[in-house]
Amino acid sequence: MAITDAAALDGKLAPPEARAEVLVIGAGPAGLAAATALAGAGLSVLLVDENPLEPGLVGLDVPLLFGGRGGAAMASPARLLERIAGSDPAIAAAVEAGVDVQLGVTCWGLYLPEAASRALPGPVAGLSDGRRCWLVGFARVVVAAGARDLVIGFDGADQPGVVGALGFDSLTRRYDALEG
């Protein structure tokens, strides 16, 4: 007598909607460089990034690029993503190389078919664009999630003018804001 588990997922999962030889998570400089190089080597590449521009940087750039007004591009997330993609030569180069670039897409999980997940058809990534979720198959993954400015806590760290290393770098390189 065969015993079956009616709640088991075996044979019940929808297949991945797409498959890429390489999934790259993160559209910063490292992720874009990796995706472009891999596509140039003939591999199929899917590049996803939930925040292609840090929200804090959008706020910093509004006065610089839009004269203090956000306008329609800032009011619509889709329009903002379009503007970001259109103004970044590295994203354009990735698209030209054949990379499937999907901005505004979150990777919420990477899963391998192992003992507890043997129902999976192979390695899959869970993706979401805020409206829906789906699975994508992949053979290899590059995680280029980017840098975060982590400030070490000390007395006065919350005072105006105290910034982390990335904030300092942005102020000095991009804005030439500090002298001396």
6 domain residue, yes or no: no
In 3-state terms, what secondary structure has residue 108? strand
Regarding whether 125 and 38 lie in a shared domain, the answer is yes
- At residue 116 the predicted structure's pLDDT band, cuts being 50, 70 and 90, is confident
Regarding whether 105 and 40 lie in a shared domain, the answer is yes
Q: What is the pLDDT of residue 2?
A: 56
Regarding whether 125 and 101 lie in a shared domain, the answer is yes
Asked if pLDDT for residue 106 goes beyond 90, the answer is: yes
Regarding whether 116 and 173 lie in a shared domain, the answer is no
Regarding whether 142 and 104 lie in a shared domain, the answer is yes
**pLDDT tens track for 121-155:** 899 999 999 899 999 999 999 999 887 666 677 88
43 domain residue, yes or no: yes
Regarding whether 154 and 134 lie in a shared domain, the answer is no
Distance separating alpha carbons of residues 176 and 161, to the nearest angstrom: 15
9 domain residue, yes or no: no
Its domain, for residue 161, covers 149-180
Regarding whether 95 and 172 lie in a shared domain, the answer is no
163 domain residue, yes or no: yes
Q: How many domains does the chain have?
A: 2
138 domain residue, yes or no: yes
Regarding whether 100 and 24 lie in a shared domain, the answer is yes
Regarding whether 115 and 40 lie in a shared domain, the answer is yes
Regarding whether 159 and 141 lie in a shared domain, the answer is no
**pLDDT tens track for 25-78:** 999 899 999 999 999 999 999 999 987 655 455 555 444 444 444 555 555 666
By CB atoms closer than 10 A (0-12, 13-18, 19+), residue 52 is buried
Backbone angles phi, psi at 147, to 5 degrees: -100, 145
Contact call for residues 121 and 16 (beta carbons, < 8 A):
yes
Regarding whether 167 and 92 lie in a shared domain, the answer is no
78 domain residue, yes or no: no
10 domain residue, yes or no: no
Regarding whether 178 and 98 lie in a shared domain, the answer is no
